[in-house]
Structure 1
Amino acid sequence: ALAVDRDIFSRLVTDGIRADENITVFEEEITEIPDDAITIIATGPLTSDALAEKIIERFGTSLSFFDAAAPIVSAESIDMDYAFYASRYDKGSGDDYINCPMNKEEYETFYQALVTAERAPLHSFDVNNPKVYEGCMPVEVMAQRGENTLRFGPMKPVGLVNPKTGHRPWAVLQLRKENCGGTMYNLVGFQTNLKFGEQKRVFSLIPALHKAEFYRYGVMHRNTFINSPKLLNADFSLRENENLFFAGQLTGVEGYMESAASGILAGINAVRRLNSQEPVILPTDTMLGALAGYISDKYVEKFQPMGANFGVLPALENRPRDKQERGKAYSDRALKSLEAYLTHMNLEV
């Protein structure tokens, strides 16, 4: 975000749009969702109240508001010597959760680090404001209610037995799959406003996460996005009306590049829809294809915004140990796949 002066950048974009003879700009508020024309809705996370109400009216409870999100770690960085698979009371498939147990001493050390850790500055609201949803309360704020609050909340050990000890742990952090491939895991109930470095330091005190690799750190902000996995196709069109497209952060892609790219893909596909052409749906081993696949994955139950990261990509067959070589392998595979796809679609490479 700090690499670009956003005022200058936005002015350049605005001037470019106004100067383009193929674009007509209407400066007016849109308060209705058109049904009689191919349309792209790209309002971002700060959708105006009038249009937001129409989206809610049209799609019911599909519009979600989150004040905080939990971190996501890579599956391979979880130390299974300290963790075990299980659901509470043996309900579910048995591998729904990875459990990260802690004994009393480990928990107390973690707790003290958590309540004294440095938080990121808040700009628009106070975490103690009653408008903050209880279900999205930052874990460090919840912990301040008492040393055992987490043990009766997101870290409760009830219904779990550590097969390595045969006993119920003192406290347990559960990790839940973030994608179908099982390459990413979400720290359940660990929404947080800690600084990124503090998240790495404090959460790594949990034994199973002592070498955790964070694909996304927890963040706290007011954000609006539709429940895309239940609503959208991978070309960013609406399943119930393929003439209507959504784009940008409203779809659940997180970040400038991701939001802009979703808009470009939605725009390309809107034109192809107008011309009765097959939509462009990029391969899932490319970053944009993977993100489009994630936001349209109907099996994602608890949807949260996602930015570009290697965790959304399919695993490499011969995965290099070196991180830099691993990144190059992902990139080389994606470029090769993209070139083949564009050739198949008779599109420019």
Structure 2
Amino acid sequence: MNGAESPHDDVVVVGGGLAGCEAAYQLAQRGLRVRLVEMKPHKRTPAQTSDRMAELVCSNSLRGAALSNAVGLLKEELRRVGSLALRCADETSVPAGGALAVDRERFAEAMTRAIEAHPRITVERREVTEIPEGRPVILATGPLTSDALAASLAAAVGAEHLAYYDAIAPIVSADSIDWSRVWKQSRYGKGGAVRGERAAPPERGAQPEGAAPPEGAAPPEDSAERRDDAEAGDEAYVNCPFDEAQYKAFVRALVESEKVEARAFEEVRYFEGCLPCEVMAARGEQTLSFGPMKPVGLTDPRTGRRPYAVLQLRPEDEAATAYNLVGFQTRMKYAEQLRVFRMVPGLEEAEFLRMGSVHRNTFVNAPVLLGPAMELRALPGVHLAGQIAGVEGYVESAAAGFVCALLLAQQLRNEPLRPPPPTTALGGILTHLGRVQPSYQPSNITWAHIAPLDPASGRLRKRARYEAMAERALRDLDAWWAAG
């Protein structure tokens, strides 16, 4: 899929991180001239310490390498399609067990050297404070996009579509839920219990209908989410019921858990409607029972009664292969999340596909704003790549840069768009960016972003299913790549 020199004017790529470097390199490899604008060394974000491009500011790990891991599959796909980031990562890898980790300095040096040496890439060292007027342009400015550029973007797309921090709840695999302990029912859906049981009065100690919430309780879900629930009926939520003792122990564990301390540049002012669960728990023992764990309108079919409290799970994908812990965004350390959330009835053996987090970020509501070529619908010719579009993680950022460049190159040549197949992890990047959610949040790649196996393939155990999905993904990727 490489090409000869294109007569098209330069493509401007703003941001020299993983997404920006990958996008610039892939465009240049396809014969396009690129101006990559990077603000270092004139200005750095508080997280950056060097003047090199593609600086890894947090961990040096690119996470799991096995193909039974979604990010491991994504890395292998990137290798097969000629990713610059994966080539440099492999060249600078260090021992890390079952993960791919790199020597940060050597990795950044290799990326910088490859970009600066490319004959079709010109690097400009300056800050961009507003969306460039020239088209096409790719904005790949990362999670710490400057206030000035973020303001320019907000003015173009509407401030309500731009967020400045992540509040992410964990996601668990559907196969790891103990379905004997939970049931499906929407609080604002059809109204009755799944099997038609008659609604029962609340148990002693459960919150009564119409009771006033304690001070500091989170507000109820908005009406749009309630309408979505009504349309989905009793398939919209899975309910994990707590008795009084279980609930109080869970709240204590949240309050006493170890949390990730915010760095100065990540300090956020929480929205009252999107508080970390441990912040709500610390406001009072009953706060969660009036917020995301309120049991009103729910009847446990095993008892015919309303439980003391409920943690609800919402499907993350159409096939319901994964579920989100509704309202449980958290700053708990990962090990603590595993310990505390496995106290939830039905999640004792849960497999976590994504951990929760709350941190400084800048990203758009991609399903609403972006078209099929990762282009802003409101600003034709302006494309977004990397974390500003709503992916999370080093590998995912590079993948988003790759896909954005690929689609833009096809667009500039007036070719039909040929995105990666939805059965691949690269295609899963686009699936996530296009999946409408009640509250869009960035995400790492998970198996829920990749099309599930045909039911005719039979029921497979988790590892065998993931390996089968990976085998299919690489087969489909190779066919797609060869045809291009």
TM-score, normalised to structure 1's length?
0.91
* CA distance in 2: counterparts of 1:319 and 1:73, whole angstroms: 22
Q: Percent of aligned positions with the same letter in both sequences?
A: 44
Q: CA RMSD in A?
A: 2.1
**Does the 8 Å contact 1:319/1:326 carry over to 2?**
no
Residue in 2 aligned with 1:217? 355
Residue in 1 aligned with 2:258? 118
Larger radius of gyration, structure 1 or 2? 2
User: Does the residue aligned with 1:259 lie in a helix, a strand or coil?
Assistant: helix
- AA at the equivalent of 2:118: D
Give the superposition deviation at 1:240.
Answer: 4.2
User: Does the residue aligned with 2:312 lie in a helix, a strand or coil?
Assistant: strand
- AA at the equivalent of 1:6: R
Matches within 5 A, 1:93-108: 93-108=233-248
Q: Which runs of 4+ in 1 moved over 6 A?
A: none
Give the superposition deviation at 1:246.
Answer: 0.7
- AA at the equivalent of 2:392: E
1:83 to 165, 182, 186: 182
Residue in 1 aligned with 2:208? none
Q: What do residues 161-184 of structure 1 show as CA deviations (whole Å, max 9, x unaligned)?
A: 212211111011111122233222
Give the superposition deviation at 1:263.
Answer: 0.8
Return 5+ residue gaps in structure 2 as ranges: 1-58, 61-100, 192-228
Q: What do residues 108-127 of structure 1 show as CA deviations (whole Å, max 9, x unaligned)?
A: 22222222222223322797
**Does the 8 Å contact 2:167/2:441 carry over to 1?**
no
Residue in 2 aligned with 1:71? 170
1:19 equivalent in alignment to 2:117: yes
**Does the 8 Å contact 2:175/2:462 carry over to 1?**
no
1:146 to 279, 284, 298: 284
* CA distance in 2: counterparts of 1:268 and 1:124, whole angstroms: 36
- AA at the equivalent of 1:291: I
Matches within 5 A, 1:141-180: 141-180=279-318
Matches within 5 A, 1:227-242: 227-242=365-380
* CA distance in 1: counterparts of 2:462 and 2:323, whole angstroms: 19
User: Does the residue aligned with 1:208 lie in a helix, a strand or coil?
Assistant: coil
**Does the 8 Å contact 2:403/2:426 carry over to 1?**
no
**Does the 8 Å contact 1:73/1:213 carry over to 2?**
yes
Q: 1:41 and 1:137, CA in 2 relative to 1: closer, same or farther beyond 3 A?
A: same
User: Does the residue aligned with 1:224 lie in a helix, a strand or coil?
Assistant: strand
- AA at the equivalent of 1:50: A
1:52 equivalent in alignment to 2:190: no
- AA at the equivalent of 1:259: S
User: Does the residue aligned with 1:122 lie in a helix, a strand or coil?
Assistant: coil
User: Does the residue aligned with 1:24 lie in a helix, a strand or coil?
Assistant: strand
Q: What do residues 252-280 of structure 1 show as CA deviations (whole Å, max 9, x unaligned)?
A: 11111111111122112222222111223
* CA distance in 2: counterparts of 1:135 and 1:42, whole angstroms: 29
Give the superposition deviation at 1:26.
Answer: 1.6
Residue in 2 aligned with 1:302? 439
* CA distance in 1: counterparts of 2:413 and 2:430, whole angstroms: 22
**Does the 8 Å contact 1:67/1:133 carry over to 2?**
no
User: Does the residue aligned with 1:289 lie in a helix, a strand or coil?
Assistant: helix
Give the superposition deviation at 1:35.
Answer: 4.9
* CA distance in 2: counterparts of 1:238 and 1:125, whole angstroms: 28
Residue in 2 aligned with 1:39? 137
1:255 equivalent in alignment to 2:393: yes
* CA distance in 2: counterparts of 1:332 and 1:146, whole angstroms: 49
**Does the 8 Å contact 1:285/1:333 carry over to 2?**
yes
Moved more, 94-103 or 322-331: 322-331
* CA distance in 2: counterparts of 1:203 and 1:124, whole angstroms: 28
* CA distance in 2: counterparts of 1:95 and 1:31, whole angstroms: 46
* CA distance in 1: counterparts of 2:265 and 2:282, whole angstroms: 19
Q: 1:319 and 1:139, CA in 2 relative to 1: closer, same or farther beyond 3 A?
A: farther
- AA at the equivalent of 1:99: N
TM-score, normalised to structure 2's length?
0.67
- AA at the equivalent of 1:81: S
Moved more, 236-245 or 216-225: 236-245
- AA at the equivalent of 1:334: A
Give the superposition deviation at 1:34.
Answer: 3.6
Moved more, 279-288 or 232-241: 232-241
Matches within 5 A, 1:128-147: 131-147=269-285
**Does the 8 Å contact 1:291/1:308 carry over to 2?**
yes
Give the superposition deviation at 1:320.
Answer: 6.3
Q: 1:125 and 1:311, CA in 2 relative to 1: closer, same or farther beyond 3 A?
A: same
Q: What do residues 214-238 of structure 1 show as CA deviations (whole Å, max 9, x unaligned)?
A: 1101112111111000111343223
**Does the 8 Å contact 1:183/1:312 carry over to 2?**
no
Return 5+ residue gaps in structure 1 as ranges: none
* CA distance in 1: counterparts of 2:253 and 2:359, whole angstroms: 23
**Does the 8 Å contact 2:364/2:389 carry over to 1?**
yes
Give the superposition deviation at 1:103.
Answer: 0.8
Q: 1:339 and 1:118, CA in 2 relative to 1: closer, same or farther beyond 3 A?
A: same
Moved more, 84-93 or 284-293: 84-93
* CA distance in 1: counterparts of 2:303 and 2:105, whole angstroms: 58
